[in-house]
Chains A and B, each alone.
Chain A
Amino acid sequence: MAMSDESPTPAAAAVAPLTPVLTRRWASPRSWTIGTYEQLDGYTALKSVLGGPSPANPDQLIELMKNSGLRGRGGAGFPTGLKWSFLPQGDGKPHYLVVNADEGEPGTCKDIPLMMADPHSLIEGCIITSYAIRAPFCAIYVRGEAIHALRRLTVAVNEAKAKGYLGKNILGSGFDLEIVVHAGAGAYICGEETALLDSLEGRRGQPRLKPPFPAVAGLYACPTVVNNVETICSVPPIVLGGAEWYRSLGTEKSPGPKIYSLSGHVTRPGQYEAPMGTTLRQLIEMAGGMQGGIPLKFFTPGGSSTPIFTPEHLDVPLSFDDVAAAGSMLGTTALMCFNETVSVPWAVWKWLEFYKHESCGKCTPCREGTGWLVQILRRVVTGEGTMADLDTLADAASNIAGRSFCALGDAAATPILSSFKYFRSDFEDLVTGRTAPVVSTHDLVGAH
């Protein structure tokens, strides 16, 4: 996919540890207003695409995204330009852009601050993307609870409309676009793209069978691109800086900057935008080390649905391919750090309660499986489990993984399978009584 011209690669030497691109306006006064946004290069990418004497060819934008190597920031890391190029052209059907802003993967906390601090970067990205895929309608599906993000986005859409960046004949280009800011209603499963589409159509948020993929039959059975917030916010800087500039950050197969969200037992949790491939060791160092000097016991590279890592993985470059090679997934770069005081079986039980609650009920392995896993885990954490229970957990989890309708079932199996890989003895100690129960039966009744 690399460009074939022989221009020299930029000196890779001097890339800084933190490289704010998506977050670079966050600290500016009233960063959410169109005034601040325009002062800081806002809408210049849009003007370069649509504002000239003749608007750009949409296919050039798709080509640019392919060349940039941008990969989806919602967790799966699918190449964005390729996804855009899958939409059939000239099929006579309307095309749609749907932004997945249903942030809810445990540990993930990047998109809501991004939408609150810099809503116009998402709007500008939506306009350019909609133009590239020939969509006259774009919906931003925001998690219902994210009320302040909904407010900021709604006001931003109105501001953009008033300036002629949205609506009819944008910047005189002849291109029309409406953006609707749409609130969900509290269902983790709607972060799964086809469940999101059903939800956006006013139905229960249950996943659809794929294929057909949304690129062919998405919203209202029309060709649809579904992209994450951080992905779409990456579009304007790529238009401004070009593919080569974008590739000067990150790794060859995972280019660009990434918002890493550090949480848990680190001294200074927060949002750190660094080149793809930064390691947790580097990030923890920037975050002031582990809280109170208590060592790290385990962490998730990208939310609770990604297999846990241990201190031996501190130097794994946090890029899509490097994390996969080390046995996990980059996910949403939600780095939840747990220190040695935390019981792994307890955390796994908490996560499984979450998956059980959020299972949509459509398929049997996930609906029934998460229920049974939780019941067994409740026995284990209260000290009433048996060794046979542990075998059943492993067996049931392995049978859910890969056999459920969508990735939620796989995700539910993940904490069990990955914690057994590294910490099975912690579960065994609870069974044998070597470790005291981590939850009392009384608390269990109150907790869930």
Chain B
Amino acid sequence: MSTAHHRIGVPEFLRTGVVFDQLTQDRATELIGRYPVPRSALLPLLHLVQSVEGFVSQDGIAFCADQLALETAEVAAVATFYTMYKRKPCGEHLVSVCTNALCAVLGGDAILRTLTDHLGVAKDGTAGEPGETGSITIEAAECLAACDHAPVVTVDYEYYDEQNPDSALDLVQALQRGEKPHPTRGGALSDFRTAELEIAGIFGDTPEGAARVAAEVDGPSATEQTLRGSHLAEQNHWQAPVMPEHVDLPPVPEKK
């Protein structure tokens, strides 16, 4: 099929000519094997190719289609549906600022403005050369399910809670210098591509990967907010009613 004719409504994916290596191939095979029906692995496979290239390219689409014996159009239709699949090369880090109503009212809109002004790009833009240290893609995100920590920013999907324009600017400037401040909740920060590998479902299938995941899994998860109810209950000796020593399961009712 000729690529010279651009058809309206057909999504464009960049061609990179990348050849996916044996490790990626093996990972794809392993992911597909997890499901009763192979096509269920399509979302993980798209995350996988994104972990290799930092975005989803036409070559990535073709790789996924090959693995699952699908048409590239079928894969492209899926890739364009989901926000997490990026069609332009992403920076070393993806910074997401929640601008849904609750975070926005507590400062999310101001944070996004401060960061886009500082980076000199519009939202969904990338400051720096994608893939190079300190390059950053910034996006406005929908609710990140951390509303008790508003306003929330994530970097490569790790939580940086209770931000304000100054703290978020400090964070982004540190990232630009190549530093990796630890998230409030989550594993030690790596980069967008490494995060995408884990989201694909590959958690430590190499010695280095296994060591990284083993450390990351112990990263903090519960903050003061998370535990407020637990602590208040403990201080006041509030408990759920005590369970009986032993209970039997009810009998199966007779069929009418």
- Map CB proximity to A onto B135-159 as digits: 1 under 8 Å, 0 otherwise: 0000011111111111000101111
Chain B, residue nearest A16 (CB): B238
Max chain A Cβ within 10 angstroms of own Cβ: one of B82, B104, B148, B249? B148
Q: Is the CB of A144 within 8 A of B199?
A: yes
Chain B contacts with A in 32-50, Cβ cutoff 8 A: 34-37, 39-44, 46-47
Interface string of B179-218 (1 = CB under 8 A from A): 0000001110000000100111101000000000100111
User: Which residues of the partner chain A approach B29 to less than 8 Å between Cβ atoms?
Assistant: none
- Does B234 have its Cβ within 8 Å of any Cβ on chain A? yes
The contact string, 1 if C-beta is below 8 Å from chain A, for chain B 206-239, is 0000000100111101101111111111101011
Residues in B111-164 with C-beta less than 8 Å from chain A: 112-113, 116, 122-123, 140-150, 154, 156-159
Chain A residues near B169 (CB-CB < 8 A): none
Pick from A168-176, A201-209, A382-390, A396-404 the stretch touching chain B: A201-209
Which residues of the other chain, B, contact A354 by a CB distance below 8 angstroms?
Answer: 100-101, 142-143
**B147 to A263, Cβ gap below 8 A?**
yes
In the complex, which residues of chain B have a beta carbon less than 8 angstroms from the beta carbon of A184? 43, 82, 84
Cβ contact within 8 Å between A204 and B78: yes
Q: Which of B40, B150, B199 contacts A264 (CB 8 A)?
A: B150
| Chain A: CB-nearest residue to B64 | A202
Interface residues in B, total, Cβ within 8 A: 90
From residue B162, how far is it (CB to closest CB) to chain A in Å?
10
- Interface contact A334-B219, CB-CB below 8 Å: no
Chain A residues whose CB sits within 8 angstroms of the CB of B244 once the complex forms:
241-242, 244-245
Partner-binding segment picked from A69-77, A106-114, A311-319, A321-329:
A106-114
Q: Looking at the complex, which one of B109, B143, B218, B253 makes contact with A106 (CB distance below 8 Å)? A: B143
Contact A334 B147, beta carbon cutoff 8 Å: yes
Question: A147 contacts which of B44, B102, B143, B199 (Cβ < 8 Å)?
Answer: B199
Does A347 belong to the interface (CB within 8 Å)?
yes
Nearest B residue to A358 via CB reads B142
Whether, in the assembled complex, B8 has its beta carbon less than 8 Å from a beta carbon of chain A, the answer is: no
A104 near B: Cβ within 8 Å?
yes
A148 within 8 A of B: yes
- Verify if B19 is at the interface (C-beta below 8 Å from A): no
A261 within 8 A of B: yes
Judge if A23 is at the interface, Cβ distance under 8 Å. yes
Measured as residues with beta carbon below 8 angstroms from the partner, the interface class of chain A is 35 or more
B105, closest chain A residue (CB): A342
Contact across chains for A271 and B116 when beta carbons are under 8 A apart = no
Q: Do A182 and B43 touch across chains, with their CB atoms under 8 A apart?
A: yes
B106 touches A264 (CB 8 A): yes
Which parts of B87-104 form the interface with A (CB within 8 Å)?
A: 96, 99-102, 104
Q: Tell me the nearest residue of chain A to B80, going by C-beta.
A: A204
Q: Are B229 and A204 in contact (CB under 8 A)?
A: no
Contact of A155 with B203 in the complex, beta carbons under 8 Å: yes
Decide: A202 and B41 in contact? CB cutoff 8 A. yes
Contact between B229 and A20, CB atoms less than 8 A apart: yes
The answer to whether A104 touches B249, judged by C-beta atoms less than 8 angstroms apart, is no
- CA gap between A146 and B203 in the complex, in Å: 14
Is A61 interfacial (CB 8 A cutoff)? yes
Within the complex, which residue of A148, A240, A263 is in contact with B221, where a contact is CB–CB below 8 Å?
A148
- Residue numbers in B under 8 Å from A148 (CB-CB): 158-159, 185-187, 216, 219, 221
A57 touches B83 (CB 8 A): no
Instruction: Report A-chain residues with C-beta under 8 Å of the C-beta of B252.
Output: 57, 59-60, 63
Is residue A26 within 8 Å, beta carbon to beta carbon, of the partner chain?
Answer: yes
Contact of A272 with B99 in the complex, beta carbons under 8 Å: no
The verdict on A270 contacting B42 (CB below 8 Å), with A182-B201, A249-B240, A357-B142 known, is no
Say yes or no: is B241 at the interface (Cβ < 8 Å to chain A). yes
Report the separation of the CA atoms of residues A94 and B228 in the bound assembly, to the nearest whole angstrom. Answer: 42
- CB atoms of A151 and B198 under 8 A apart: yes
Against B, the Cβ 8 Å flags (1 = close, 0 = not) of A49-71 are 10000001101110110010000
Can you list 22 A-B pairs with a CB-CB distance of less than 8 A? A20-B229, A27-B227, A103-B145, A105-B143, A106-B147, A116-B221, A116-B222, A144-B82, A145-B84, A147-B186, A148-B216, A154-B203, A185-B46, A185-B85, A220-B36, A240-B243, A268-B228, A270-B225, A270-B227, A271-B228, A334-B147, A443-B113
Closest A-B pairs by Cβ, 5 of them: A270-B228, A202-B42, A186-B83, A242-B247, A185-B82
Residues of B bordering A, CB below 8 Å:
34-37, 39-44, 46-47, 68, 77-78, 81-85, 96, 99-102, 104-106, 109, 112-113, 116, 122-123, 140-150, 154, 156-159, 185-187, 195, 198-201, 203, 213, 216-219, 221-222, 224-234, 236, 238-241, 243-244, 247, 249-253
* Given A20-B238, A106-B142, A346-B101, 19 further pairs, Cβ under 8 A: A20-B240, A60-B249, A106-B143, A144-B43, A144-B82, A145-B144, A148-B185, A151-B213, A180-B35, A184-B82, A186-B82, A186-B84, A201-B40, A204-B78, A242-B247, A263-B147, A264-B150, A342-B105, A347-B105
